[in-house]
Amino acid sequence: MDKRKKTITLLLGAALLATTATACGNDNDGNAEASSGASTASASASASGEKMKLMVWNFDADKTNLDGYAMNAIRDKLGVDIGFYNSTNDAAAIKEKLLLQIASGDIPDWWKEVPFADADKFADQGAAAEIPIDMLQQNAPKYMAWMEKNLGADPMRFVRHEDGKIYNLPVLWTLASSSEIIGYRQDWLKKVGIAKTPDTVEEMEAALTKFRNDDPDGNGKKDTYGMTASATTIQTIFSSVFGAYGVYPGATVDENGKAVRGEIEPGAKEALTTLNKWFKADLIDPEFFVNKDSNVDDKVISSKVGTVQRSWWEFIQPEAFYEGKYYAQLRKNVPEADWALSSGPKGPSGSFGITQGNPMLGTGIQFGKQLEKDPEKMAAYLKMFDATSFDLDLYTKIHYGEKGKTFEIKSDGTYAYIPPYDTDEARTKFGIGNYYHAPASFNDYDFQAPFMTRGDLMPVKEAAASKGIGKYDFMTPLAKPAYDEFQDALTQLTIKSFIDFITGRRPISEFDKYVADWKKAGGDKVLAEAQATLDQLNKK
């Protein structure tokens, strides 16, 4: 009796364990071969006797078709076979995933857009391949021409590694260096009786005063402010007012061969004085320093403020470029709303401008170390990158497909999909669209203009784009260990001090003390490093 019970208990125990094991322990064998996209791909790429296989990144598995029209166009054009590296379009994971792939030994043939510090590490630690300059010139001539057009001769000088070699193909986001502008509510200006867009600091002050006091939204309440901003970075803190005094905070700029940080220049003190005056006069959103970007959006779109700094394409029709958030969303509330655009107010000496972004905001493309031993393949990749980005025929085939079947060119020169290809689903099935990263990184917006802007809106776009004027940080793509070490402390110090000066918590007379603190907190080392780098660049 006792024994039987024991046996039953044991059996039960064993059964329970077995269920656990099958429920939790076993991985299903069916998935054993389905390792990450990268490893399967490189395995099949090494099969001999076939066409060379080039890999295209696929961040949107549901929007792409490996055997569709676009990929076949590349196959035909270059005489290669094409495979996909499957990843995700989630920024949070792309980087981690790549790092994990490399760390586990599955180095992809190429990758794009990792942070600068990572790209340097990949080069230093032997994960990224050297890209010989003559191979680049031979196989990617259009890319090189585009780079030269924007950066002058020897555009690769910005990415040359310490050892003098090139490890990445920089991506230029040409818009960055001229994106930030100031928008004034045109309808408000009209309402308060100002005929022309404010041009000087005084005129700007007059406009802001009226925006605050003259009830520009006509709701009978004094609930509008002249201007708002956020203080998440140094650049977002009223950069245009600093530009009026000739300084560009938040960026290391080249002033005739001298590396300068705008935040510690005398001009910054003048700008802070002006801003402090405006803050005291209640012209500035009194809680601008709490704002995140979304709060700024809220305040602009719900007509709480009349002046704001933003990328130019946010102020114009979405059909003229893209997004047009401040235009489209605002008009849902206020149909007659419009924006008067400005490059920022002119100061006493006639200076103006806004801190802009370095066009080399990302590291661009790197090749896996294994391609150093396979120059033919690297050359083929370079050819593919060049053709997909700058060859009108191939570009059109990838993005728009077959003329007369999937798209047509309208009389005003714009491209339009023909139904049923005006839906994502139909395009995915046919295998065309914007989701094929081969590499889809080099965007020559002059070349792409017909695809992005409706013909009749071209002047609107041109006018808005021409307003973005200012300087940018030349150090962005360059190695800067001192900056990396001190930037967090310096940035926090500057943002805090600027807000204190503007809001009057700290008297402007202490500006020099702030500058001294800044230098002591590592700022002098940052400047010395930047100067050395600049000398090096200008020598060449």
Partner 1 sequence: MQATATESAVQTRSSGRAKGRFNKFRQYRMLFLMLVPGFIFLLVFNYAPMYGLVLAFKDFRITSGILDSPWVGMKHFNKVFDDPHFYVVLKNTILISVYKLIFGFPAPIAFALLLNEMRRPLFRKWVQTVSYLPHFISWIVLAGIFTTLFSLDGPVNALVKAFGHAPVVFMADERYFRSILVGTSVFQSFGWSSIIFLAAIAGVDPQLHEAAIMDGAGRFRRMIQITLPMLAPVISIMLILSMGTILDAGFDQIFNMYNAQVYGVADVIDTYVYRLGLINADYSYSTAVGMFKSVVALILLLSVNRLVKAVGGSDHTLW
Partner 2 sequence: MVYRKTRLGMAADLCLYAAMTLLMLITLYPFWMQLVTSLESGASVYTTRLMFVPEQVSLEAYRLAFHFKPLWTGYLNTIVRTALGVLCMLIVTSLTAYPLSKKDLPFNRAFTGFLLLTMLFTGGLIPNYLLIRELHLLNSVWALVLPGTLSAFNALVMRNFFRSIPESLEESARVDGAGYLRIFISVILPLSAPVLATLALWVGVGHWNAWFDSLIYIADGHKQVLQVVLRKILIENDTADMNAMIQKMNTHSEYTDRQLQAAVVMLSIVPMLVVYPFAQKYFVQGVMVGAIKG
Which residues inside 344-383 make contact with partner 1, applying CB under 8 A? 369
Stretch that binds partner 2, among 70-78, 188-196, 199-207, 439-447 (CB under 8 A): 439-447
Per-residue x/- marks for partner 2, 1-30, CB under 8 A?
Answer: -x--xx--x--xx--x--xx--xxxxxx--
Binding-site partner at residue 463 among partner 2, partner 1, none, CB < 5 to 8 Å by type: none
Q: Determine if 37 is a binding residue for partner 2 (CB under 8 A).
A: yes
Give which of partner 1, partner 2, none residue 286 binds (C-beta under 5 to 8 Å, depending on kind).
partner 1
| Amino acid at site 522 | G
- The residue within the footprint of partner 2, chosen from 3, 332, 539, 540 (CB under 8 A), is 332
Q: Is the peptide bond before 375 cis (omega within 30 degrees of 0)?
A: no
Which of partner 1, partner 2, none does residue 287 bind (CB under 5 to 8 Å by kind)? partner 1
Least separation in angstroms between CB 47 and partner 1: 25
- CA dist 154 and 379 (Å) reads 20
Coil/strand/helix, residue 497: helix
Per-residue contact string for residues 73-112; x = within reach of partner 2 by CB under 8 A: -------------xxxxxxxx--xx-xx--xx--------
Question: 10 CB contacts (<8 Å, ≥6 apart)?
Answer: none
To the nearest whole angstrom, how small is the minimum distance from the Cβ of residue 160 to partner 2? Answer: 22
Which helix (H) or strand (E) is 56 found in, with range?
strand 53-58
Is the backbone of residue 23 left (phi > 0), alpha (psi -120 to 50) or beta? alpha
Whether the CB-CB separation of 435 and 399 falls below 8 Å is answered with no
Q: Which stretch binds partner 2 (CB under 8 A): 134-142, 212-220, 431-439, 493-501?
A: 431-439
d(CA 529, CA 522): 11
In 3D, which of 158, 153, 148 has the Cα closest to residue 474?
A: 158
Minimum Å gap between C-beta 95 and partner 1 is 8
**Is the CB of 31 or the CB of 411 nearer to partner 1?**
31
Q: Classify the C-alpha dihedral 33-36-37-43 as positive or negative.
A: negative
**165-204 mask for partner 2 (x: CB under 8 A)?**
------x-x-xx----------------------------
Q: Should residue 509 be labelled a site residue for partner 2 when binding is judged by CB under 8 A?
A: no
Minimum CB separation from partner 1 for residue 290, in Å?
5
293 sits near partner 1 (criterion: CB under 8 A): no
CA distance 540 to 538: 5
If one asks whether residue 293 binds partner 2 (CB under 8 A), the answer comes out as yes
Tokens for 42, please give them: 């490189």
47 binds partner 2 (CB under 8 A): no
Q: Check residue 356 and report its DSSP letter.
A: B
Is the bond leading into 459 cis (omega within 30 degrees of zero)? no
Give the residue from 495, 293, 385, 341 showing the smallest Cα distance to 78: 385
DSSP annotation of 68:
S
Q: Which of 226, 357, 431, 523 binds partner 2 (CB under 8 A)?
A: 357
**453 near 316, Cβ under 8 Å?**
no
Residue 17 binds partner 1, judged by CB under 8 A: yes
Q: For residue 91, what are the CA distances in angstroms to 59, 98, 103?
A: 10, 11, 19
- The CB-of-233 to partner 1 minimum distance in angstroms stands at 10
Q: 126 is in the binding site of which of partner 1, partner 2, none (Cβ under 5 to 8 A by kind)?
A: partner 1
Minimum distance of partner 2 from residue 496's CB (angstroms): 19
Q: Which of partner 1, partner 2, none does residue 97 bind (CB under 5 to 8 Å by kind)?
A: partner 2
Report if residue 126 touches partner 1, rule: CB under 8 A.
Answer: yes
- Assess whether the previous peptide bond of 439 is cis (omega < 30° from 0): yes
Contact between 487 and partner 1 by CB under 8 A: the answer reads yes
Among positions 488, 512, 524, 535, the unique one binding partner 1 when judged by CB under 8 A: 488
- Closest CB to partner 2 among residues 221, 540: 221
Sequence-separated (6 or more) residues with CB below 8 Å from residue 127: 102, 107, 121, 368, 369
CB nearer to partner 1: pick between 377 and 506: 506
Give the shortest CB-156-to-partner 2 separation in angstroms. Answer: 20
The span from the first CA to the last CA of the chain, in angstroms, equals 96
Peptide linkage before 420 cis (omega within 30 of 0) = yes
Strand 339-342 to 258-261 pairing: unpaired
CB 95 within 8 A of CB 422: no
Binding footprint of partner 1 on the chain (CB under 8 A): 9-10, 13, 17, 20-21, 24-25, 99, 102-103, 105, 115, 117-118, 121-122, 125-127, 223, 231-232, 286-287, 289-290, 292, 294-295, 369, 484, 487-489, 492, 495-496, 499
